[in-house]
């Protein structure tokens, strides 16, 4: 599916969504700006009293301590990481449709050979320069495919009950939370469930309960047409320092997590 079809699908879904009426905010905003300007002028003339200065400093210190504590707790750290996008991917949820409105279905999922090229484990080592990680306890994959998105090389290990995507990412994917590297976008319906998890100490997400669209967006914000496709199976996404992983599967969530935790 190319970018044009993707955009048309998004526009159709957005057009069917019900939005609340836009309130008249201009007068309230102007009043708030004027009040804030007056308060700022008064504070500059007099300056805050000592007790207020102490309270301001104490509040800033408390906020810094609070952030440090949040980052030290795995569940909080994962939530903050997701917010800044350090997963190497984004998940966008479509708005809930108004009652009685029929959602526009995603395009039918295409076969793997429509978006990837057959290869082998030896071919991956030769062409991409890395060794694909095989899940311990699993036999060699039934088939191996590759997809070259120029700034990222994807290897797909095809098994009977799952497809494991291993995507090598460049070093320094994000700089202080700001993406400087391509990302994988997931567009999901409002009925799809997204569960935050942790895989090998890194934040992860389990996407279940409905089809979603995935696409690869390069560093300039342009969609790689060959990457846009519909995924009908549940999907587990996570990453480590060098690779982004996707496990598209019919397996139960617990089994998918077991496989993910067994990888480096």
Residues 129 and 246 in one domain: yes
**Is the pLDDT reported for residue 27 higher than 90?**
no
Residues 188 and 254 in one domain: yes
pLDDT of residue 83: 32
Q: How many CB atoms lie within 10 A of CB 15?
A: 9
Residues 218 and 240 in one domain: yes
Residues 165 and 205 in one domain: yes
Kindly state the percentage of the chain with pLDDT values over 90: 31
Residues 59 and 141 in one domain: no
Global pTM reads 0.63
Residues 36 and 71 in one domain: yes
Question: What is the domain count for the chain?
Answer: 2
Look up the domain containing 191 and give its range.
Answer: 3-8+88-262
> Per residue in 90-131, pLDDT tens?
788 877 777 878 777 788 888 999 999 999 999 999 988 889
Read off φ and ψ for residue 225, nearest 5 degrees: -55, -40
Tokens of residue 146, six digits: 């590759």
Residues 96 and 179 in one domain: yes
Parallel, antiparallel or unpaired: strands 89-93 and 183-188: parallel
pLDDT of residue 170: 60
> Per residue in 159-204, pLDDT tens?
999 999 998 866 444 444 444 456 788 888 877 899 999 999 888 9
Query: Is 250 part of a structural domain of the chain?
Result: yes
Residues 203 and 104 in one domain: yes
Tokens of residue 239, six digits: 């990453």
């Amino acid at each position: 599916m190319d970018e044009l079809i993707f955009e048309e699908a998004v526009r159709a879904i957005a057009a069917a969504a019900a939005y609340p009426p836009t309130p008249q905010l201009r007068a309230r905003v102007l009043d708030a700006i004027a009040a804030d300007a007056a308060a700022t002028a008064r504070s500059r003339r007099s300056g805050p009293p000592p007790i207020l200065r102490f309270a301001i400093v104490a509040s800033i210190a408390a906020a810094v301590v609070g952030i440090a504590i949040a980052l030290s707790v795995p569940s909080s750290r994962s939530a903050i990481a997701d917010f800044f996008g350090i997963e190497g991917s984004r998940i966008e949820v479509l708005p809930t449709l108004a009652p009685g409105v029929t959602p526009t279905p995603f395009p039918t999922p295409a076969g793997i050979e429509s978006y990837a090229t057959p290869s082998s484990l030896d071919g991956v080592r030769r062409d991409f320069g890395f060794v694909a990680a095989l899940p311990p306890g699993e036999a060699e994959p039934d088939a191996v495919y590759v997809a070259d998105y120029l700034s990222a090389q994807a290897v797909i290990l095809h098994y009977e009950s799952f497809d494991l995507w291993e995507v090598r990412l460049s070093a320094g994917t994000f700089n202080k939370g700001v993406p400087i590297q391509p990302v994988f976008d997931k567009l999901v319906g409002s009925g799809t469930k997204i569960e935050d998890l942790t895989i090998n100490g890194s934040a992860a997400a389990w996407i279940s309960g409905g089809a979603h669209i995935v696409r690869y967006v390069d560093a300039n914000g342009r969609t790689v047409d060959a990457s846009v496709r519909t995924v009908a199976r549940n999907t587990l996404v996570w990453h480590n320092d060098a690779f982004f992983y996707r496990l598209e599967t019919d397996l139960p969530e617990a089994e998918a997590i077991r496989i993910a935790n067994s990888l480096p």
